[in-house]
Amino acid sequence: MCEPTREYIFPQSPEGQNSVVMDILELPVYELEDDKMRIHDVVWGDCDIGDRQPYDSLLMDLARSPLFRRLQAVEQLTLPPRFATLPNTTYFSRWQHVWGSLAFVRKMTEGDERFDDRQRTVLELRTLFSDVGQTAFSHLGDWMFQGIQGGENLHDQDLRDLLETFGLDALLEKYGLTLDETVFPEVDDWVECPSPDLCVDRVDYGLREILRWSGRATDIARYQQNLQNPQSLFRINDQQMLEVTNEDFARRFAAGYSILPTEHWIQPVHRLQLELLQTAVKRALLESYFSDGVSLTYPVHPRDRIYGIDADYRFALAAVGDGGALSRTMQTIASDQRQIYVAARRLDLCRLFSDVAMSFPDFPDPLQSYCRRSKEFGLVSPHVEIAQNDKARQGILNEMGRVSLGLPPMKPRSIDPSVLVDGQAAKLSEIDPSFGNYLAGQNEAMRRGYRAELLVNREFGRKLLDLCQRVNDDWPDAVRCQRNPDNLREIVRQAGMCGAGRRFDGIYEL
């Protein structure tokens, strides 16, 4: 395989206002040839698949299957570029995460005599399968069917049936493997375990996102070369759990991971965008607002239809509201927030974490400024008003002529890594009490609910309320219709083909 050209996305403007990228965003590159693949990953470096037969042939069968190929065009972090509230958080596909996680597992078990080739393959398959059930817009598919506080795990509950629908149980049997050992077996270990312990999933998506936008604040980029050999920073202990072997790295990783929820995933303006996107996608599903030419048997269950790719909804999102007014409103809010981060918020974070190698600060409030520039600039788009409301319930209201949305708390996410110091492992919160206090602050911040008001004119506000009411009225009947495996197969087959044209990554068939 020849050395590929590295792929980058450059910012369109220095202040981030018209761009979804700040500085330079590097994307991974994948070269597929026969029964081989070389992954040029931005976190874990180069990783080769093909030298461990026959099991690597199984991995290549999966890589070329429609169920996996569609992940090339599904955003890991839900919001498409024009609606994203932070720079460098898009063009981040589920494909990047699943194969990046596999690269981490592959490198962590390399040379470890505790694992034979079959055991290594089982660990890699557990990693790959854990996210292959994600729908278009990733967790949006969970929130729409479970509710925003419903656990975010419907894709896990459906996973085994999904794999059987596409014959992956039979494919595994050809290699002497089973779904029982590769789909969420009843074991807690370094591949899958409860928070706040480290697992493969948290390590990969955490580092992948930190390096995109908050790496400067925590200065974790100093370890990028080390990450290409993850055994220099992590180890698998005798209890089959992950430990970090470098305390300074553990501190910077924990600092960066902890703000991913509060500065991004559950930050209130981002949450507002998720609510509005959910309404737009539900409308598309209810009204069959698609032009991808997929031949289906009607009625189509929304749960089947959402197993396409994000680009299936591009026309629907552009048309929501009065002449696309909702889409334009979301784009304006997103542009404001990206500019706020580039011009102000990242200065707050750099200041707060300047001494993280020695001690953790008080946990940052997502709506509080910590430097003069941030106070002058503000942290919330002028088109939105945000107020903390811990009793907020999901839904949209008309309050004195203004559009108001409830933003209840979402699933909390945190880590407290085990760190090896002088041959003894302990939780970071035990090694440094300041991190324990910091974690307590994070937990308090993640429990908050909010209410958001959209600052729009009354006419558009009325239309938005009418749209939400229609969607909410029609949704229960839509999800009661019968699911159809033939529809699901055709949707995924088409998504696998179209994903190649709408993918975010450099993927080359040689």
Six token digits for residue 364: 């940052």
Q: Domains of the chain by range and CATH?
A: 7-265+487-502 (1.10.3210.10), 268-483 (no CATH)
Distance CA 85, CA 335 (A): 7
Q: What is the pLDDT of residue 13?
A: 57
Residue 106 scores a pLDDT above 90: yes
Q: What is the pLDDT of residue 152?
A: 86
**pLDDT band at 414, cuts 50/70/90?**
very high
| Mean pLDDT in residue range 12-22 | 64
3-state secondary structure 240-280: CCEEECCHHHHHHHHHHHHHHHHHHHCCHHHHHHHHHHHHH
Q: What is the pLDDT of residue 6?
A: 64
Six token digits for residue 172: 């595994």
Q: What is the pLDDT of residue 187?
A: 93
Q: What is the pLDDT of residue 206?
A: 98
Residue 17 scores a pLDDT above 80: no
CB–CB of 82/331 below 8 Å?
A: yes
Tell me what the pLDDT averaged over the chain comes to: 93
Contacts 24+ apart (CB under 8 A), 419-422: 419/243, 419/244, 419/245, 419/247, 419/250, 420/235, 420/243, 420/244, 420/245, 421/247
105 sits in which H/E element: helix 94-109
| Mean pLDDT in residue range 371-386 | 96
15 secondary structure, DSSP code: T
**pLDDT band at 16, cuts 50/70/90?**
very low
196 vs 148, 245, 417, 439, CA distance in Å? 21, 17, 7, 10
pLDDT digits (tens, 9 = 90+) for 155-177: 889 999 999 999 999 999 999 99
Distance CA 174, CA 169 (A): 9
Q: 45-49 and 234-236 as β-strands: parallel, antiparallel, unpaired?
A: unpaired
Six token digits for residue 470: 């229609």
Q: What is the pLDDT of residue 19?
A: 74
Q: Looking at this protein, which amino acid is placed at residue 191? A: V
Cα 384 versus chain centre, distance: 24
Q: What is the pLDDT of residue 5?
A: 56
Q: What is the pLDDT of residue 89?
A: 97
| Mean pLDDT in residue range 40-60 | 97
Residue 464 scores a pLDDT above 80: yes
- Report the percent of the chain where pLDDT is more than 90: 81
Q: What is the pLDDT of residue 1?
A: 54
